[in-house]
Homo-oligomer: A and B are copies of this chain.
Amino acid sequence: MDITPRQLEIIEAAGKLLTTSGVSGLTIKNLAKEMQFSESAIYRHFTSKEEIIVAMLNYLADSIDKRLSDINDLSDPEEKFRALFKEQFRFFRLNPHFVVAVFSDGLMEESQLINEAILKLMNVKTKHLMPIIIEGQQKGIFTNDITAEELIHMVMGTFKLQMYKWRIASFQFDISRIGGNMVQSILTIIKSR
């Protein structure tokens, strides 16, 4: 599962392509051009395009997983909640190309492996969000009127839509600021009143 430096370069080039030209722009030809070598050279490092995409998604999942793991040091669930999203917005602001990867269904239908990699990516996020929500509910900070699963569904949906809007706006607005407002809205509404 380890990745060579050259493979990482290719993955990053693939991400860049996703940002600039979308899923349909992610071709071996463009990838080779971006890497400034020939198309066939790609196949020295990956056996197929599918493998590149899967590697990219897995690399992304690992990155996010690591970054979100530092959050549990905080004590307050509300603080954790804020920190989690702050980190997410920070990460995607630095790597906007991955927004296309994560939130574009276009990739999905191409293969079963890619499909699974995307689902895995969604689960990483849920994995970190779930304990925060549950803890918040237990402490009576978040509402217990609906289940944790339902809360997570709402939160994830709201987040996903925010990312979608950011993307179709060509990443032109400050996602950290707008996203911060969004988090505030969510908190306002899910906190016990």
Contacts and interface: CB of A to CB of B under 8 A. Distances in A.
A50 to B, nearest CB: 13
Nearest 3 pairs between A and B by C-beta?
A106-B106, A157-B161, A22-B109
Given A24-B110, A106-B23, A106-B104, A153 B146 contact: no
A48 interface: no
B189 A145 contact: yes
Interface residues of A, number: 39
A60 interface: no
Nearest to A161: B157
B160 A161 contact: yes
Q: Which of A23, A159, A161 has the most CB of B within 10 A?
A: A161
A185 B146 contact: yes
Nearest to A165: B153
Main secondary structure of the interface of A (DSSP, over half): helix
Contact of A105 (B106, B181, B185): B106
A182 to B, nearest CB: 7
A106 to B, nearest CB: 3
20 contacts: A23-B105, A24-B109, A103-B105, A105-B105, A105-B164, A106-B106, A108-B168, A115-B168, A119-B168, A145-B188, A146-B188, A147-B185, A154-B185, A154-B189, A156-B161, A157-B157, A157-B158, A189-B189, A189-B190, A193-B193
Nearest to A107: B106
